Each structure stands twice: as structure tokens, then as C-alpha cells.
Structure 1
Amino acid sequence: MFVPAFEQGVAEAAADIARIVADQAAPSFANTLEALERAGARLSRVRRIFWTISSAQSDAAIRAIEPVVTQMLTRHGIAVAHNPHLFARVAQVWAKRDETALDEAQLRLLDQSYRGLVDGGAALEAVDKARYAAISEELAALTTQFGQNVLAAAAEWEMVLDRPDLDGLPVTMQAAAARRAELRGLAGRYVLTLDRGDVEGMLSFSTRRDLRERMWRAFTTRCDGGAQDNGPLVERILALRHERAALLGYASYADYALTDSMAKTPEAAMALLLRVWEPALLQAQAEQAELERTAGIPDFAPWDWRFYAETVRMARYALDGTEVRHHLTLARVRAAAFSTAERLYGLRFEHRPALAGWHPDVQAWAVSEANGTPLGLLYTDDFARAEKHGGAWMGSLRVQEKLDGPVQPIAYLVANFAKAPGGTDTGLSIDEARTLFHEFGHALHALLSDVVYPSHAGTAVARDFVEFPSKFMEHWIVAPETLAAFDVPEALITAIGHADDFGQGFATIEFLASAIVDLALHHDPSAISNAKAFAAHILATLGMPATIAPRHGLTHFTHVFDGGYAGSYYSYLWAEVLDADAFAAFGEVGDLFDPALAQRFRRDVLAPGNSRDPMDSFKAFRGRGPHEVALLRARKLAS
């Protein structure tokens, strides 16, 4: 079904390009750039549907055609970028940009289209174009294989437990494990998987140190050897990325990846990471010393950290993770997200059970303004399944635009929460509740987009800006006003408010280790000969604690080797600088729901999408550029 649809979509898109090229009129913004925005409409729809299914509801048939689809799309993209007549038309319009009455969004679209073609190899000589095409096809195949290996490795591993093995695990987690075992024909037993929710639950609550170690080792060594070994793929992907960047005239792949970012250069991004590393490392060392005193064991290890951190939080702040899950149920947290969006932006969310999704768990919600004006649709897919990729993400089945009339967006949120049995409401940890709010922030970015051109819509912004609205949204789930609205006891609200007072060193180092390694690997071509040793050397030089593992190991780092964050994983921290500074504005006025600030954030940050430079969007909201001191204070790292 999908392959014929892609074939037709590619054929129609190619015909659209041919019509643009054949136009006898002089190249103009309307007959070239706007025509490009309209080209391949059917292909865009099919592509969005396919990647939604392949990530959220994959099966053997879908996985079998992923390489075929990837190759087809790669070849089509290269054919467009390497069409000399198309490039000549765009280049002519670009060369006369100062002589044409174009507005800010049109100038940005023109500049991005021109530079996108150049970075796609349009200006290369024939022999280099051929090499560029070969590299791109091989990269597409390798990154697809990388992601499929991670999915297969996670699907094949399980931890089968008996009742005595469950000591310390939350009741909801036990129930989900029992249900999973029943589905596998193991009634009376319990099954945990390598889904991050299971892993962090086991590491945080299980009193069985041997089981924590077994889980930690399985999770951190995924695809590092064995049938799904991604080690060779990592080095080949790095080699090809550096070679392609060199063909285009860049010093490294990181230089290429950051050209249209807020950081602009790898040096600027690395400087931020290292400025935060030093205070974070000091904090992590202080945290470990306290945990070692609490644990009273001579060989404190990585699989002990989360468990004893929970112990400290319980003792210091009376924060009971099980009680948190009792109050922070999925339905309540989602309702809180919708309520927050209503109070901030005047939005309404109406459940539409008649609208089917790609799985029975998927729910649809109509989104509108307070006055009833429709804005779009939101789909939510919350529960872990074997056919899903791990983690949580947001995507779009259709983006907002108004090039030829208003088009409303259709966004979706995918998570991997452990489904409670018997129709009961699923309890969430604080981190899981934050995840829901984070992805909801991405959805709001898509739903509140207000642009003309589809290329500018919603989350189609610089990689180190796209996480800004999502990180920003996380603040409201731990706000006392939010928690009190669904009857969380005052004592627990206070405890949740202090939850981040301990553990920021660990969390920051865990993230920074992955971000620094990613940036270094993509900035230094010498890393490709032995990426694993290179990464280990980088972390050893920085003084990485042996008791903390990077959040993502190389062989399962899908953000970087099967996603859009290659050389750019740092962007979560960069976006957090923006987020912390922007949120501080609400603290300055003393109202988390200040209507004037909320409307400015919607107008200046969410609505413009990529129709203007992201720094201009931030400055329009804040009145100045961002200050990282707000981030250090938020992470409890400021001296």
C-alpha cells in the first residue's frame, strides 16, 4: 500500500518540479519559490503518515519497506537539489533579493531555499554531485538500519520476575509488568522491558541491587555487540557525514549542521556545554558523597544512584514516588496540560472519540480558540507497545499554512507510559509528567503556528530553538497552582517543588556527557577511526564520574544516528537557556498565568515558526538576548 503511494507521490512531485523548470517566464518569487512550496503535496502527506506509523505502530511489513522508502525519498531529494535548471532559477531570484519588494518571511524562505540547495550539493561539479548522491543513499540506509537495530534489541530483551523480585517497585509498575507477562503467556509472573520507564522505575525503586545492575547493564549496552551491533554503523556514519561536509566546503560535519542554528558554530555550542560542565561536576561530586554516606556500601555503582537519590529525597523532602504516581495519573496530568493551555492561551480541547487513530489507544482532540474558532486536531498515543520506538515525541500529520487559504494543523503526541490494567488510570512519575508537558509544548508550537508558508510552520525551526517551547512548558506541571487543581495534598506539592533540589548535578552531567561526545565526534574527523575510544577519552579528560553513564550510549543514540540531532544534541541545553530566561519573566511579574506575557509568548515565539530568525523571536518576547544565569539558577548550579 505505502510503496505504490510513495511512487505516485514522487512522480507527481517530479512533475511539479518539471513544470517550474519549464516556465518560460523570468524566475520570480511567485513562480519559483512559492511554486516549490506547493510542489509534492501528495508526497508530503504520504511521508508524514508513513513515518508516524513506522515509529508508533511498526510491524515486520513496515520495517521491511523502510529501506525502500528511505532510498526512494533520498533519491528524489537529490534529484531536486541537483537539478541545474531549478537551482539556476532559485539562484536568479536570490541574486536579485535586494531589488525585490519581499517581506521578512519571503526573504527568509528565499535565503533558506537557496542555501538548502547549495548544502544539498546543487553547486558541486558533476563528479562531486555523484559522490554526494552515493554518500546520501548510503547514509539513509545506515541510519535506518541503526534505528531498526535499536528497536529489535529492545524488543528481544525482557526481565522475567517472580513475586519476591518486586520488592520496592510501585504497585502500578507491578500491575503493568503482570499484564505484560499475561500477554506473553506467563500468567503469575512479571515482565519488564528496556523501555525507559521500566528502566528508571527499576533503578529508582527496586531494593534488589542485583536486578538493578542487570537492568542497567542491559540498557546501557544495547547494540554494543551481538546480532544488532551498531558499533561499525556509528563509525561508517561519522565517516560519511564528514566526507559529505568536506565536499560542501565545511571544516567538519558539526560546522555544516550548525550553520542555521542559534549557536552558529561548534565552538560556541561547546563553550556553553563546558561552562555548565564545571559547576555541574562539582554538584554531582557533592551529591555522590551524600549518596555514598546514605548507602553505606564500599562499591557505590551507577545502578545505585537513582535508588539512593530516591532515599535521600524521601528523607529530606518527604517525597514518596509511589504517592506521586497515585496523584499524578495520566488523565489528571493531561487535563492539567489542557487547563494550562486554556489559562495561558485561551485554548479548548474537546475529546473526539469518533475519530479513529492508528491504534485503539490513540485518542483525538479538537483544538479551538475560546470563542470556538477551530485551530486544529491533536492525537495522543500514550502507552508502551512492542511495535513502538522508545521514548516520547511529537509529530505532525499536517502543518499549518495559508499560502492558498487557511490550512489547520494536525499534531500528535507519542509516549511510552506503562498502561495500568483493567481500565484504571495510569500513574506517572514526576519525570513522566514532565515528559507529557514537554511534548505538549511541542504540540502547542505546531497548533499555534501562524505562517504563510508550510516550510515555516510550527516546529520547523532551528534545532537549538525547537526545544525551547517544549522545555518552557515543563514549568507548569510542577507549579503549585497546577498541582492543587487536581487535589494533590499540600505536603506533596511542597515535596514535588523540592524534588529538583537534589540530583541536578547527576542529571546535568548525564545529559552533558552525551551532548559533548556528539558535538566532538562530529567536529573532529579523527574520531571516525575508533569512535568508542574517542568518546571515552573525551569523557576521561573531563573527569566524567564512573558512577554516571551518558544518557545515551553511542550504539543506541538514536537522536544522533537515526534522527535529526547529529552534531546538535547540545540544543536541549541551549533551548533550556532560552526557556529559563523566558520563564523568569513570569517570575518577575509574580504570575505564572500573566495574560499579557502569555499572549506575547504566543505571538512572538510560537506563532512565527521559522518565518524569522529565532533570535529575533526571543528578543521580541524578552526585549533582549538570553542570559544563561537563569539556567544555572534553575538547575541549582549557580554559586
Structure 2
Amino acid sequence: MSLNPLLADWDTPFGAPPFDLIEAGHVLPALEIAMAEKMAEIRAIADATGPATFDSVIAPLERSGAALAKVGRVFWTLSSAHGDAGIRAIEAEVSERMSVHGTAIAHDPALFARVAAVWQARELAGLTAEQLRLVDNVYHGFINDGAGLEPADKARFAAIDARLAALSVAFGQNVMGAVGDWSLVADEAEVDGLPQAVRDAAGARAATEGLAGRYRFTLDRGDFEAVTTFATNRELRETMWRAFTQRCDGDAYDNNPLVAEIVALRRERAALLGHATYADYKLVDSMAASPGAAHALLMRLWAPARAKAIAETATLQLLADRDGVTIAPWDWRFYAEQVRREEYALDAAAVRALLRVEAVRAAAFDVAGRLYGLRFVARPDVPVYHPDVAAWDVRDAAGEAVGLLYTDYFARPTKHGGAWMGSLRVQERMDGPVLPIVYTVANFSKAPVAADSRLSLDEARTLFHEFGHALHALLSNVTYPSLAGTAVARDFVEFPSKFMEHWIVAPEVLRGFGMDDAMIAAIGAGDGFGQGFSTVELTGSSIVDLALHRATEPVDAPAFEAAMLAELQMPDAIVLRHRLPHFTHVFDGGYAAAYYSYLWAEVLDEDAFDSFAEPGRLFDRGLAERFRDEVLARGDSRDPMLSFVAFRGRGPDEAPLLRQRGLVG
């Protein structure tokens, strides 16, 4: 153990992982020891002969597996953000072994009997509200993991979970493989219209491969959106669009068979637990509570969004007529940019030129300082897993430590696509205060000099979005680790992150980048054009995901997607934001049957932000402190609707969302 850094006591600042010492070869030996340690702890709880109480069952369960939590969190951080060949080679094995281990604990009849005994006596046990919430969560967690099944069904349930774990890894690795194997090399004449920062980044990538004077583009979303928005070369736009939207669809990394098997296994798993569909199972503990409620919200958005998108397309066609072009999907962003320039004087390239990555991060830190009194101090002495990663000591207004934050923004071949936030340690205070260690990850294009890297306005929103998740974890203030920070219902977890996005487009923040009033006004006016398009992209993906997981028969992914788009009458010039073969949120993440959560959370966020939108209240500290205390600090220590109502004074209202997206007259 002394030779394995994953099992050692970490004497680094904040007790952060010693990434400079950790290698792939440490993982499996550490995993074996940590699993054995946790299983011994579980056996002690299950085999105890005294009364089953909160202190003898639930609290020890919360304390169990500390070493395994360390190993698992470090491994999955590396797997997602910096997976070298050694990490990739063991992903499937780690995933399957952890699945088998977790299922074995959930299916232990003696352990479940003691958990059930605590749950049955909970109302008379003199527990706090937070303890009652934890007992309920633990009990229903066991039920959802098959603890109440008969032995034969438990065996099948365990086999399904192990297979799903392997399929999830395979799906994600296919997406990474498809992205990593593809590139588009262009000549000077082909990149006309692209912002200089985009050209510089693509030129630097080409130069590293001996292609000086040319430009290499990847399938990272930043490259995709830059090329389809700015490139005057229509053929280049189409090539990029087709490659991006057809990833893992019938190619060498075909994910369609995996989608069919994953959906079938999820449906069988739900049926074993007595649910009609996987969506019914997944949404039991959500704010929506049922697939029907989630679907109803999506359809209330779909009709006006589709009508708005069709009207927007007609506006684009008037411009495209000048070029003799009929709007196709690879033209949408390009001509939308022309509309914003001509009708709203909004020049996205000029905006991008002012949004340096470091400046946007500094703006996010400044907003958190003005709202919550936080300070972020660079800690170059903290080990990181890649040179692009920066570590930040987070302090409150009194100078007290709040936690540690890593920021990791640039795309690289060892990183999964997209953007996300994760935790290497969660806040708790069971046996004294434990501070959180949090990271945010994105895939922005890196300039030859990293400090010169620029972001689009949407990418700046992404940075603020993930920072919102980080604040949710950093400002957590609960007793028990499984209730901390972002461990909330899936359709609530996106609320604090969507909420944070508002500040990046606030005039007070935009002025800090050197934008004048004319540019800020143009952003305010022009940023709304395309809301129909973006709502259709997002809502369409949500509807397809939900329908897929409400299906009761085997599905063929391409046919199912095509049939759904026909039923929805998807506009010809728009595709889903995430097509099924590369929908990692759903097949290599936690959003199965729950991608609607982004829109559900947007209802909450737009309504909550209305409080700050009143004149002079954008940085109202009293209001911010109430949001911190009632939403961010609470984690899952109470029903999330109670947290929203405690802040807003009433239940959520959809009207602000409809206004913001321009879906009402």
C-alpha cells in the first residue's frame, strides 16, 4: 500500500490527488484492496447483532468505502479528461468490477434487512430532517438496485448491470475513436471568413503534423460551430457538418448496435423492478415525477419553437437567395450569422476577439466574488493531471477555505468531448469539516500561445455553465456526503448551472472585456435570433431520448430516430443537437430518459433569475446569499422543490422561459 499513491494518505495541499505520481498500473491493485476494505465494512454492518438504527446502519454506510471513493474518483477523472492508452485499456474492466461490487452490496439480504428496519421505524426515531432524507434515499437506492428481488431475478439484474457498464464504456470509446481518427485539412483559400483565432489554432495543429501553411480541423464542437458559422466555402461547411452529425453512424465506430442493446437491457432492468418502461423507472425520484409530465413540458415548447424556427429559416432564405442557395443544415449557422450582422449589427467574430479564455474565467471568478464573496487564488504547487490544468484555492469573504477548484479548458485527444464538472472529493461534516475538490472540463480550441485562445459567446456560456455546477459543489453545506452538492435529482442539477449563464451576457460583465455599448446592445438584440433553431435542436433531442426509453419493443436506432423526426415534422434544415449514435449524455452518462432536464431546469433558472433581473439587483448580495443558502448549500438534504420554493416564495413559472426563448407573442 505504501508504494501505491492511490492508497496512501495524501500530504499535498488540500489533500489533493498526487497526479504526478499516479499511473494506470496503480489502478487495478488499488481497486482490489479498496473493494475488499469496503466489503469488510459492509459485512460488519450487515452482521451486527444490535438494533438496526441510524447510527448502527445508515451512518456507517455513509462512512464506508473511503478508499474506494478515492480510487474511483481519480480513475474516472483521468478516464474522462486525460485517458492515456493505459487508462483506456482498463476502462471496461474497472467499470464492470465496480458494477459487480456495487450490485453485490445492494443485493446482500442481511444488509438490506437492516436498512429496511431503519426505514420502517424512521418516523419514530427522533431523526433530523436531513437524516430522514438520507434514510429515505438509502432505502430507495437499495430498492432501485434490486434489493427486493428474488434470487434468480437478482442474478439477472446483476448480469444486466455488468453488461450495461461495459456497453457504456464501449459507446464512449467509439465516440472518442471516431473524433480522434477524423480531421479536415484545408488550404488558405478554403478558410476564408474564419476568425483569426480559429485559423491560428487550426494552423498550429497542422504545423505539428508537418503541414505548415495549411489548417487542420477536428470534430470537436468548437471547430464544428466555427466552420459552419463563418466559413464562406460551402463545400467545407458541408464536409464538416456531415462528419460531425454522422459520427458513429454505420462507420468503423458504429454505435447503433450498442444503442439497441443498451435500450433493451435498460427496459428489462426496469421491468424486473416492476416499471412499465425505463423512463418510468428513471423519473420516479425526479422533479417531473413521471415521463408524462416531462413529455408535456417538451411538447408545450416544441410547437412554438418549431414555428419560430420555420420563420427564422424563411429569413435566412432571403439572404441565401442572393447566393442562389437553398438553405441546408450546413448553411443554417452561416446565414444566421449574416442576419445577426445585417439586422442586429452583431459581429460574432468581433465578439470572439474580445473573449480570451483567461479573461472569461476571470469574469466568472469575479461574478462569484460579487455574488458570494468568493476569492480564487492560483495554486501552482497543487499537482495536476495535465499541463493545461490550473488549480485554484477558493476562499470566502472572511478568508476561510471553501475548497479546491481545477479548470481544464482545452481539447486534446485524451479527453472526452463536451464539457462537464466533477468532484474528486465532496463536502461533508460527519466527523468534522471536509472541503470539496471540484473540477470543470471543456474542449475549447487552443491557440499556439494558450493565453491568446478565444471563445465564442456560446463557449463563454459553457464556461459559466460548468462554473455554476462547480459553485453548487463548492458551496454545499450538508452533513452527509451522499447528499452533498450536485447529488440531486437530474432535472434539478442543471438549475444552478443554467442560472449562472445569465451573468456572461450581463452588460456589467461584457464591459469588462472591453465591449462598447453598441456591441453590448447588438448582443442583447441579436443573440435572440436563432432561439427557434436552438430550442428545436435541444427539445428534439430530449423528445427522442424520452420516447426511446418509453418504448416497449426492440428498437432499431436509425429507424427509430427517423420515425420520430417524421412524427415531429422536424424542419428540413435542422438536425438534433445530439443524434443517437453519438449521444454520450444518454449512453455514456447519466441522462438516459432525462435529457429533458436541461429544459426543465431552464424553467427554474429563468424564473429564479427574474429576481436578479430587476434594475440594480444583478449583484444584490442579500438575494445572492438567499440563493446560496436555499439552493446551492442544501444539496439533496431536502426535496428540491422545497429548495426552489424557499428561494422564490412559490412554485416555478414557465412564462420567463417562454419569454427568454421568444416563444410567446
Q: TM-score, normalised by structure 2?
A: 0.95
Runs of 5+ consecutive residues of structure 2 not aligned to the other structure: 1-25
> How big is the shift at 1:589?
5.9
1:514 and 2:514 are equivalent in the alignment = no
1:605 and 2:631 are equivalent in the alignment = yes
Moved more, 484-493 or 594-603: 484-493
1:268 and 2:279 are equivalent in the alignment = no
In the alignment, which residue of structure 1 is the partner of 2:412? 385
Aligned partner letter, 1:419 = K
1:201 and 2:230 are equivalent in the alignment = no
In structure 2, which of residues 579, 584, 596 is the aligned counterpart of residue 553 of structure 1?
Answer: 579
In the alignment, which residue of structure 2 is the partner of 1:284? 309
CA distance in 2: counterparts of 1:532 and 1:113, whole angstroms? 38
CA distance in 1: counterparts of 2:447 and 2:230, whole angstroms? 18
Cα deviations by residue, 1:475-529 (Å, 9 ceiling, x for unpaired): 0000001111232222111112223220000000000110000000001222x33
1:373 and 2:383 are equivalent in the alignment = no
In the alignment, which residue of structure 2 is the partner of 1:34? 59
CA distance in 2: counterparts of 1:182 and 1:54, whole angstroms? 28
Moved more, 421-430 or 145-154: 421-430
In the alignment, which residue of structure 2 is the partner of 1:113? 138
Say if 2:358 and 2:451, in contact at 8 Å, map to a contact too: no
In the alignment, which residue of structure 2 is the partner of 1:411? 438
Cα deviations by residue, 1:398-418 (Å, 9 ceiling, x for unpaired): 000001100000000111111
Q: Describe the shift of the 1:540–1:487 C-alpha distance in structure 2 as closer, same or farther (beyond 3 A).
A: same
In structure 2, which of residues 553, 556, 575 is the aligned counterpart of residue 530 of structure 1?
Answer: 556
Q: TM-score, normalised by structure 1?
A: 0.99
- The SS at the match of 2:52 is coil
1:81 and 2:106 are equivalent in the alignment = yes
Aligned partner letter, 1:346 = G
CA distance in 2: counterparts of 1:54 and 1:397, whole angstroms? 13
Cα deviations by residue, 1:171-215 (Å, 9 ceiling, x for unpaired): 001110011112223222210000000000000000010010010
Say if 1:348 and 1:367, in contact at 8 Å, map to a contact too: yes
In the alignment, which residue of structure 1 is the partner of 2:246? 221
Q: Give 1:38-77 correspondences, 5 Å limit.
A: 38-77=63-102
> How big is the shift at 1:22?
2.1
In structure 2, which of residues 588, 599, 615 is the aligned counterpart of residue 562 of structure 1?
Answer: 588
In the alignment, which residue of structure 2 is the partner of 1:16? 41
In the alignment, which residue of structure 1 is the partner of 2:7? none
- The SS at the match of 1:525 is coil
CA distance in 1: counterparts of 2:409 and 2:626, whole angstroms? 31
In the alignment, which residue of structure 2 is the partner of 1:587? 613
- The SS at the match of 2:293 is helix
- The SS at the match of 1:160 is strand
In the alignment, which residue of structure 1 is the partner of 2:471? 444
> How big is the shift at 1:546?
1.3
- The SS at the match of 2:402 is strand
> How big is the shift at 1:47?
0.5
In structure 2, which of residues 388, 391, 412 is the aligned counterpart of residue 364 of structure 1?
Answer: 391
CA distance in 1: counterparts of 2:233 and 2:38, whole angstroms? 57
Q: Give 1:180-195 correspondences, 5 Å limit.
A: 180-195=205-220
CA distance in 2: counterparts of 1:35 and 1:89, whole angstroms? 12
1:322 and 2:349 are equivalent in the alignment = yes
Say if 1:356 and 1:362, in contact at 8 Å, map to a contact too: no
In the alignment, which residue of structure 1 is the partner of 2:426? 399
1:164 and 2:189 are equivalent in the alignment = yes
CA distance in 2: counterparts of 1:591 and 1:606, whole angstroms? 19
> How big is the shift at 1:470?
0.2
Moved more, 612-621 or 101-110: 101-110
> How big is the shift at 1:590?
4.2
In structure 2, which of residues 146, 169, 172 is the aligned counterpart of residue 144 of structure 1?
Answer: 169
CA distance in 2: counterparts of 1:457 and 1:529, whole angstroms? 37
- The SS at the match of 2:527 is helix
Aligned partner letter, 1:207 = T
CA distance in 2: counterparts of 1:588 and 1:185, whole angstroms? 55
Aligned partner letter, 2:188 = R
Say if 1:158 and 1:192, in contact at 8 Å, map to a contact too: yes
> How big is the shift at 1:72?
0.7
1:247 and 2:272 are equivalent in the alignment = yes
Q: Describe the shift of the 1:423–1:223 C-alpha distance in structure 2 as closer, same or farther (beyond 3 A).
A: closer
CA distance in 2: counterparts of 1:614 and 1:435, whole angstroms? 24
In the alignment, which residue of structure 2 is the partner of 1:634? 660
Say if 1:178 and 1:189, in contact at 8 Å, map to a contact too: yes
- The SS at the match of 2:334 is helix
Say if 1:356 and 1:363, in contact at 8 Å, map to a contact too: no
In the alignment, which residue of structure 2 is the partner of 1:306? 333
CA distance in 2: counterparts of 1:539 and 1:177, whole angstroms? 34
Say if 1:87 and 1:122, in contact at 8 Å, map to a contact too: yes
Q: Describe the shift of the 1:423–1:513 C-alpha distance in structure 2 as closer, same or farther (beyond 3 A).
A: closer
Cα deviations by residue, 1:402-445 (Å, 9 ceiling, x for unpaired): 01100000000111111111344211110010000000000000
1:294 and 2:336 are equivalent in the alignment = no
Aligned partner letter, 1:8 = I
In structure 2, which of residues 159, 178, 182 is the aligned counterpart of residue 134 of structure 1?
Answer: 159
In the alignment, which residue of structure 2 is the partner of 1:504? 531
In the alignment, which residue of structure 2 is the partner of 1:2? 27
Say if 2:356 and 2:451, in contact at 8 Å, map to a contact too: no
CA distance in 1: counterparts of 2:451 and 2:396, whole angstroms? 31
> How big is the shift at 1:594?
1.2
Aligned partner letter, 1:480 = P
> How big is the shift at 1:226?
2.2
Aligned partner letter, 2:642 = D
Aligned partner letter, 2:242 = R
Say if 2:320 and 2:326, in contact at 8 Å, map to a contact too: no
- The SS at the match of 1:523 is coil
CA distance in 2: counterparts of 1:58 and 1:529, whole angstroms? 32
Say if 2:174 and 2:255, in contact at 8 Å, map to a contact too: yes
Cα deviations by residue, 1:93-152 (Å, 9 ceiling, x for unpaired): 001111111111111110111011011010000110011011111111111100000000
CA distance in 2: counterparts of 1:271 and 1:590, whole angstroms? 36
CA distance in 1: counterparts of 2:451 and 2:363, whole angstroms? 18
The percent identity for this pair of structures is: 61
CA distance in 2: counterparts of 1:419 and 1:52, whole angstroms? 21
- The SS at the match of 1:262 is coil
In structure 2, which of residues 110, 116, 120 is the aligned counterpart of residue 95 of structure 1?
Answer: 120
Moved more, 293-302 or 442-451: 293-302
In structure 1, which of residues 596, 613, 617 is the aligned counterpart of residue 622 of structure 2?
Answer: 596
CA distance in 1: counterparts of 2:272 and 2:104, whole angstroms? 17
CA distance in 2: counterparts of 1:134 and 1:424, whole angstroms? 49
CA distance in 2: counterparts of 1:26 and 1:80, whole angstroms? 20
> How big is the shift at 1:534?
2.0
CA distance in 1: counterparts of 2:525 and 2:447, whole angstroms? 28
CA distance in 1: counterparts of 2:659 and 2:563, whole angstroms? 30
- The SS at the match of 1:421 is coil
Say if 2:357 and 2:451, in contact at 8 Å, map to a contact too: no
Moved more, 319-328 or 188-197: 319-328
In the alignment, which residue of structure 2 is the partner of 1:488? 515
Moved more, 129-138 or 177-186: 177-186
- The SS at the match of 1:274 is helix
Say if 1:250 and 1:256, in contact at 8 Å, map to a contact too: yes
- The SS at the match of 1:405 is coil
> How big is the shift at 1:569?
0.2
